[in-house]
Amino acid sequence: MVNRIFFALALLFFGQTTFAQYDQLEDYEKDAPFASTEGLLKLNFSFASGFMPNQIIYNHYLQGSLAYFPEKKVALRADFSMLLSSPSQASILQQNTGIYLGGFWHFVDKPIWDPYVGLQAGLHISQTTYEKPGFIYAQYGDFQVSPAIQLQTGVNFYISKYLHLSAGAQAIVAEQRGGKVPDDYSLTEFRAQLGLGFQFGLIDLEKKKNRVF
Amino acid sequence: MRSFILSLALLLALGQTAWAQWPDEQDSKASFDHSAAGLLSLGLAGQTASLLHQEDYQAPMGVGANFRLQLHNRINTEWALHYMQADFGEQAFRKDIFISANALFYPFPGNEDFEENWRPFISLGGSMNYGALEANANPSNQVDRWNPAIALGLGTHLNLTPKFDLSFSTQYMLEFGEELSWQNNNGRLLLLSLPSEKVEQRFLFSLSLNYKIADLW
A109 close contact with B: CB closer than 8 A: no
Q: Are residues A70 and B18, on separate chains, in Cβ contact within 8 Å?
A: yes
CB A150, CB A170: distance < 8 Å: yes
Q: Are residues A183 and B63, on separate chains, in Cβ contact within 8 Å?
A: no
* Rounded-to-integer distance, Cα B168 and Cα A74, Å: 19
Q: Are residues A211 and B211, on separate chains, in Cβ contact within 8 Å?
A: no
CB B148, CB B127: distance < 8 Å: yes
- A153-180 burial, b at 16+ Cβ within 10 Å, e below that, comes to ebbbbbbeeebbbbbbebebebbbbbbb
Q: Are residues A103 and B161, on separate chains, in Cβ contact within 8 Å?
A: no
pLDDT at A98 over 90: yes
Q: Are residues A173 and B11, on separate chains, in Cβ contact within 8 Å?
A: no
A119 close contact with B: CB closer than 8 A: yes
* Rounded-to-integer distance, Cα B212 and Cα B215, Å: 8
Q: A42 vs B185, which has greater pLDDT?
A: A42
pLDDT at A100 over 90: yes
Cα atoms found within 13 Å of the Cα of residue B7, Cβ hemisphere only: 9
pLDDT at B20 over 50: no
pLDDT of residue A204: 67
Most confident of A31-35, A118-122, A204-208, B191-195: A118-122
Task: Tally the residues of chain B.
Answer: 217
- Cα–Cα distances in Å, from B60 out to A18, A100, B19, B84, B209? 45, 19, 37, 6, 20
The end-to-end CA distance of chain B, in Å, is: 33
B17 close contact with A: CB closer than 8 A: no
pLDDT of residue A208: 60
Q: A138 vs A213, which has greater pLDDT?
A: A138
> H or E stretch including B169?
strand B164-175
The domain made up of B2-215 has a fold known as Porin (2.40.160)
pLDDT at B75 over 50: yes
pLDDT at A99 over 80: yes
Cα dihedral across residues B111, B117, B121, B127: positive or negative: positive
Pick from A54-58, B38-42, B125-129, B197-201: least confident:
B197-201
* Rounded-to-integer distance, Cα A153 and Cα A141, Å: 33
Average pLDDT of the segment spanning A189-198: 96
* Whole-number average pLDDT of chain B: 84
pLDDT of residue A4: 52
| Chain B residues with CB-CB distance to A151 below 8 A | none
A82 close contact with B: CB closer than 8 A: no
Q: Across the interface, which of A41, A121, A174 has its CB nearest the CB of B45?
A: A121
Pick from A80-89, A117-126, A131-140, A167-176: least confident:
A131-140
**Closest by CA position to B5, among listed B203, B13, A17, A50:** B13
The end-to-end CA distance of chain A, in Å, is: 44
* Rounded-to-integer distance, Cα A43 and Cα A47, Å: 14
pLDDT at A148 over 80: yes
A73 close contact with B: CB closer than 8 A: yes
pLDDT at B136 over 60: yes
B131 exposed, middle or buried (CB, 10 Å; 0-12, 13-18, 19+)? buried
| B156: CB partners within 8 A, 6+ apart | B118, B119, B120, B121, B167, B168, B169
pLDDT at A138 over 90: no
pLDDT of residue B24: 46
Average pLDDT of the segment spanning A62-91: 93
pLDDT of residue B28: 46
For B165-216, write each residue's pLDDT tens digit. 999 999 999 999 998 888 888 888 889 898 888 888 999 999 999 999 988 8
Residue type, A115: P
Q: Across the interface, which of B27, B61, B137 has its CB nearest the CB of A182?
A: B137
* Whole-number average pLDDT of chain A: 83
Q: Across the interface, which of A78, A147, A175 has its CB nearest the CB of B8?
A: A78
pLDDT of residue B16: 47
Average pLDDT of the segment spanning B18-34: 47
CB B106, CB B153: distance < 8 Å: no
For an interface test with A, the pick among B6, B14, B19, B215 (most A C-beta atoms closer than 10 Å) comes out as B19
Q: Are residues A70 and B46, on separate chains, in Cβ contact within 8 Å?
A: no
pLDDT of residue B17: 46
Average pLDDT of the segment spanning A96-121: 92
B-chain residue closest to A122, CA distance: B63
Among residues 194-213 of chain B, which lie with CB inside 8 Å of chain A?
207, 209, 211, 213
pLDDT of residue B18: 45
For B82-132, write each residue's pLDDT tens digit. 999 988 888 889 999 999 999 999 999 888 888 888 999 999 999 999 999
pLDDT of residue A9: 53
Domain residue ranges in chain B: 2-215
| A106: CB partners within 8 A, 6+ apart | A37, A69, A73, A74, A75, A114, A115, A116
Average pLDDT of the segment spanning A8-28: 52
Residue type, B36: A
B-chain residue closest to A129, CA distance: B137
ipTM greater than 0.90, yes or no? no
Average pLDDT of the segment spanning A2-10: 50
A30 close contact with B: CB closer than 8 A: no
Structural Rg of chain B based on CA atoms: 20
Instruction: For residue A27, name the pLDDT band (cuts at 50, 70, 90).
Output: low
* Rounded-to-integer distance, Cα B137 and Cα A141, Å: 9
Structural Rg of chain A based on CA atoms: 20
**Closest by CA position to B125, among listed B149, B157, B96, B146:** B149
β-strand B188-195 against A144-158: which pairing, if any?
unpaired
CB B68, CB B157: distance < 8 Å: no
| Chain A residues with CB-CB distance to B209 below 8 A | 102-103, 119
Q: Are residues A74 and B164, on separate chains, in Cβ contact within 8 Å?
A: yes
Q: Provide, rounded to the nearest whole percent, the portion of chain B with pLDDT above 90.
A: 49
Question: What structural domains and CATH numbers belong to chain A?
Answer: 2-210 (2.40.160.20)
pLDDT at B22 over 50: no
